[in-house]
């Protein structure tokens, strides 16, 4: 009667051992580190480590470890932030910007743990330190970008319909078409409506004028798209910085909050994230000389002069084939054994690309990358905002066949192909971003928060454990084992899924410990009640668990629902608290109902006849 099923005991043992292994990297903690990648996207190898070792030895900068990871990035660990920053400056000076150097944190866990793919749980911004930014999205600028695309499309529509016009001008969400012949206004309205049925097309205030307006739904959809696209683009840019567990989420109607734990270089982050970028596909002018155009400072009629990344002049035609706004997807691949980039455009971009490639087989086509950034500079003693723009050709490839919305860009190295795919896929922001809030949280503050948070956790646990041991004796010690098991499982779960632990999350662990103790109290009081009624010890144990089951499950399910609601509707610290609480409830149910029962079996199971219980 008193035998607990062996499979249950083995399940508990297996889960506890797995949890200990998953949680083990947290014992070693993290330390300041540099993460480096090549600007040409090539991978580091173990042989490359020697040049960094020689530099650090020459500069007298001590480090803990230096290695290349599986992704081809170089890592250097230090025993403090001071040496980390000294090494960053020395590397940037010695190699003159050959590498992208990110200040971050790296786990101290032994290599055998990292080879198993195990890593410590991530720490949130409030614990780890880092950068907190709030960007405001220029949603009106996103609408203006859309109408500019429509402006170009309407010109094409009117030309194909053989309707002469004087001007097509965009202003806000409206486009104004001025026709040469007012009698063709009806034909113009019909052609525009057929091209885009969603537009509101009406006659203007003067004869021969047609107005095409975006509907309120179209404006709202464009604004929402701009914010979501900007979030995607920011995530990809943050990945290039090597930030572990960034938090990028929408805030309010037109803002995006960015949390970058472990990053201390605010200037570099703001520079990389704040750029407004877009892409354009243009034909290369095969007739005129770009060198002559650069020498004279004047491009021939119908062309524009650009430079590639090596500073070489490239002469492109003014007509734009497609833009980054029409891009759906891009990925690096291999074509006949050579690096290439697969590109997918939307319907309108595909139609224009089909026409262009049909008429220009064997001619070169270029991809132009355009970046804009807004800087605050001081002029005449006053701070003013200055917009800066840069345009460069990032790829030139020959059109080998007729294609529309799906095609490949070839003639690249492997590193260039990967970089181009990233730029095409998510390098472009759909609307300008402007910083409205910027905070740098120092690592000392993070360390202080960690120490205080874990001190609160330790005091709470010790107080609970002392009470359980004093009041329930041997069964109190068993409860202590179950509580420790519970905390280990929470830590293992956070580490396994890469969830970030925040200061409110530590509060969630403290609350979980209290709830886990409460579950044990319910079980033990039921056992005491059974013993007072004259039940034998083993029958009292079985009865205690059976009778307490419904109360424990009911109490935890209601809290579980609250945690789900907090996570679904909360933001920032509230979500961190809700996540830990949710995980803690699940581990509490397991530890209280199966873990405690298995430990009781371990302590009392071998006794043939049990006279009394230390409860």
The predicted model gives 151-180 an average pLDDT of 86
Bigger pLDDT: 422 vs 323: 323
Torsion angle (degrees, nearest 10) of CA 123, 124, 128, 129: 170
Specify if 247 maps to a domain: no
The predicted model gives 292-314 an average pLDDT of 88
Which among 363, 364, 367 is positioned nearest to 397, based on CA atoms? 364
472 and 535 share one domain = yes
Mean pLDDT over each residue of the chain, to the nearest integer: 81
Q: How far apart are CA 201 and CA 196, in angstroms?
A: 10
**Domain of 99?**
30-108
Which helix (H) or strand (E) element contains residue 422?
Answer: helix 414-426
Specify if 571 maps to a domain: yes
The predicted model gives 185-202 an average pLDDT of 88
Return the pLDDT at 137: 83
pLDDT bracket for residue 587 (50, 70, 90): very high
Q: How far apart are CA 548 and CA 8, in angstroms?
A: 19
pLDDT bracket for residue 377 (50, 70, 90): low
408 and 490 share one domain = no
pLDDT bracket for residue 427 (50, 70, 90): low
The predicted model gives 322-348 an average pLDDT of 76
309 and 393 share one domain = yes
Domain boundary among 170, 199, 217: 217
Neighbours of 239 (CB within 10 A): 12
Q: How far apart are CA 418 and CA 409, in angstroms?
A: 12
Question: Which two structure tokens, joined as six digits, stand for 461?
Answer: 């646990």
pLDDT bracket for residue 384 (50, 70, 90): low
> 3-state class of 365 per DSSP?
strand
Bigger pLDDT: 155 vs 380: 155
pLDDT bracket for residue 430 (50, 70, 90): low
pLDDT bracket for residue 387 (50, 70, 90): low
Return the pLDDT at 1: 43
Specify if 612 maps to a domain: no
470 and 576 share one domain = yes
Domain boundary among 414, 429, 452: 414
Q: How far apart are CA 52 and CA 36, in angstroms?
A: 11
327 and 352 share one domain = yes
The predicted model gives 244-259 an average pLDDT of 80
Specify if 201 maps to a domain: yes
Length of the chain: 615
Q: Tokens 């990233």, residue?
A: 422
Report the CATH number that the domain containing residue 557 is assigned in CATH.
1.20.1640.10
Specify if 256 maps to a domain: no
Q: How far apart are CA 391 and CA 421, in angstroms?
A: 18
403 and 501 share one domain = no
Return the pLDDT at 420: 64
Report the CATH number that the domain containing residue 172 is assigned in CATH.
3.90.1150.10
Which among 124, 170, 178, 128 is positioned nearest to 149, based on CA atoms? 170
Bigger pLDDT: 614 vs 64: 64
Domain boundary among 217, 251, 285: 217
Would the pLDDT of 275 be above 70?
A: no
Q: Is the dihedral of CA 78, 83, 88, 93 positive or negative?
A: negative
Contacts of residue 614, Cβ cutoff 8 Å, sequence gap at least 6? 473, 474, 475
pLDDT tens, residue by residue, 69-121: 776 778 889 988 788 888 988 888 888 767 777 777 788 888 788 778 788 88
Return the pLDDT at 315: 93
Specify if 135 maps to a domain: no
Report the CATH number that the domain containing residue 44 is assigned in CATH.
3.30.70.260
Return the pLDDT at 274: 62
Neighbours of 380 (CB within 10 A): 5
Would the pLDDT of 19 be above 90?
A: yes
Bigger pLDDT: 133 vs 245: 133
Would the pLDDT of 490 be above 90?
A: yes
Neighbours of 283 (CB within 10 A): 21
pLDDT bracket for residue 412 (50, 70, 90): low
213 and 72 share one domain = no
Which among 254, 375, 257, 381 is positioned nearest to 246, based on CA atoms? 257
When divided into structural domains, the chain yields a total of: 4
Would the pLDDT of 242 be above 60?
A: no
326 and 455 share one domain = no
Q: How far apart are CA 436 and CA 440, in angstroms?
A: 14
Q: Which of 42-56, 198-212, 384-398, 567-581 shows the lowest per-residue confidence on average (mean pLDDT)?
A: 384-398
448 and 562 share one domain = yes
381 and 461 share one domain = no
The predicted model gives 323-328 an average pLDDT of 73
β-pair partners for 202? 211
Return the pLDDT at 489: 94
Specify if 99 maps to a domain: yes
Share of the chain above pLDDT 90, in %: 9
Specify if 366 maps to a domain: yes
Would the pLDDT of 21 be above 90?
A: yes
297 and 165 share one domain = no
Q: Kindly provide the b/e burial profile for residues 295-310, where b requires at least 16 CB atoms within 10 angstroms of the residue's own CB.
A: eeeebeeebbbbeeee
Report the CATH number that the domain containing residue 323 is assigned in CATH.
3.30.1360
Contacts of residue 441, Cβ cutoff 8 Å, sequence gap at least 6? 125, 126, 129, 130, 131, 132
Return the pLDDT at 590: 92
Would the pLDDT of 325 be above 90?
A: no
The predicted model gives 139-162 an average pLDDT of 82
Would the pLDDT of 461 be above 60?
A: yes
Q: How far apart are CA 44 and CA 547, in angstroms?
A: 61
Task: Please give the full DSSP string across 8-53, using - where no structure is assigned.
Answer: HHHHHHHHHHHHHHHHTHHHH-EEEEEEEEETT-PPP-GGGHHHHH
Q: How far apart are CA 138 and CA 434, in angstroms?
A: 8
Would the pLDDT of 545 be above 70?
A: yes
453 and 594 share one domain = yes
Which among 223, 425, 442 is positioned nearest to 329, based on CA atoms? 425
């Amino acid at each position: 009667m008193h035998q607990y099923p062996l499979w249950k005991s083995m399940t508990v043992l297996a889960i506890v051992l797995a949890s200990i292994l998953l949680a083990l990297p947290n014992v070693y903690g993290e330390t300041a580190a540099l993460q480096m990648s090549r600007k040409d996207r090539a991978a580091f190898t173990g042989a490359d480590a020697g040049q960094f070792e020689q530099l650090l030895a020459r500069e007298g900068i001590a480090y803990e470890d230096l290695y290349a990871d599986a992704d081809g990035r170089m890592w250097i660990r230090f025993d403090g932030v001071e040496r980390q920053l000294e090494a960053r400056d020395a590397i940037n000076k010695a190699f003159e910007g050959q590498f992208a150097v990110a200040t971050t944190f790296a786990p101290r866990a032994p290599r055998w743990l990292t080879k198993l793919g195990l890593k410590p749980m991530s720490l949130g911004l409030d614990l780890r330190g880092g950068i907190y930014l709030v960007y405001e999205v220029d949603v009106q600028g996103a609408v203006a970008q859309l109408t500019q695309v429509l402006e170009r499309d309407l010109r094409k529509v009117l030309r194909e319909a053989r309707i002469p016009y004087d001007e097509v001008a965009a202003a806000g969400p409206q486009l104004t078409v001025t026709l040469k012949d007012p009698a063709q206004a009806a034909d113009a309205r019909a052609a525009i409506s057929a091209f885009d049925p969603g537009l509101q097309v009406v006659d203007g205030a003067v004869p021969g004028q047609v107005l095409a307006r975006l509907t309120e739904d179209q404006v709202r959809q464009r604004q929402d798209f701009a914010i979501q696209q900007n979030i995607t683009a920011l995530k990809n840019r943050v990945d290039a910085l090597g930030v572990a567990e960034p938090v990028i989420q929408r805030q309010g109607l037109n803002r995006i909050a960015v949390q970058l734990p472990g990053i201390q270089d605010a200037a570099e982050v703001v520079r990389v994230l704040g750029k407004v970028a877009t892409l354009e596909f243009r034909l290369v002018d095969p007739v005129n000389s770009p060198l002559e155009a650069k020498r004279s400072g004047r491009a021939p009629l119908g062309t524009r002069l650009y430079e590639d990344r090596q500073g070489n002049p490239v002469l492109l035609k003014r007509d734009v084939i497609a833009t980054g706004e029409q891009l759906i997807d891009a990925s690096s691949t291999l074509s006949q054994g050579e690096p290439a980039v697969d590109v997918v455009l939307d319907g309108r971009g595909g139609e224009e690309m089909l026409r262009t490639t049909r008429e220009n087989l064997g001619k070169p086509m270029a991809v132009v990358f355009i970046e804009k950034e807004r800087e605050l500079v001081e002029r005449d003693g006053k701070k003013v905002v200055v917009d800066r723009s840069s345009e460069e050709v990032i790829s030139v490839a020959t059109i080998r066949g007729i294609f529309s919305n799906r095609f490949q860009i070839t003639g690249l190295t492997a590193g260039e192909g990967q970089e181009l795919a990233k730029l095409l896929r998510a390098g472009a922001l759909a609307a300008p971003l402007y910083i409205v809030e910027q905070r740098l949280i120092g690592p000392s503050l993070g360390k202080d928060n960690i120490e205080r948070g874990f001190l609160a956790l330790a005091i709470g646990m010790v107080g609970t454990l002392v009470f359980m041991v004093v009041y329930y004796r041997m069964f109190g010690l068993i409860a202590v084992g179950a509580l420790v098991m519970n905390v280990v499982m929470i830590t293992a779960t956070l580490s396994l899924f890469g969830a970030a632990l925040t200061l409110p999350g530590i509060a969630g662990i403290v609350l979980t410990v209290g709830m886990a103790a409460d579950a044990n109290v319910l079980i033990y009081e039921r056992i005491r009640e059974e013993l007072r009624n004259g039940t034998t010890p083993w029958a009292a144990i079985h009865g205690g668990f059976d009778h307490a089951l419904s109360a424990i499950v009911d109490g935890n399910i209601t809290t579980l629902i609250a945690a789900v609601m907090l996570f679904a509707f909360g933001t920032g610290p509230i979500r961190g608290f809700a996540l830990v609480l949710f995980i803690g409830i699940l581990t509490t149910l397991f530890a209280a109902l199966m873990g405690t029962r298995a430990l009781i079996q371990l302590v009392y199971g071998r006794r043939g006849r049990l006279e009394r219980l230390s409860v």
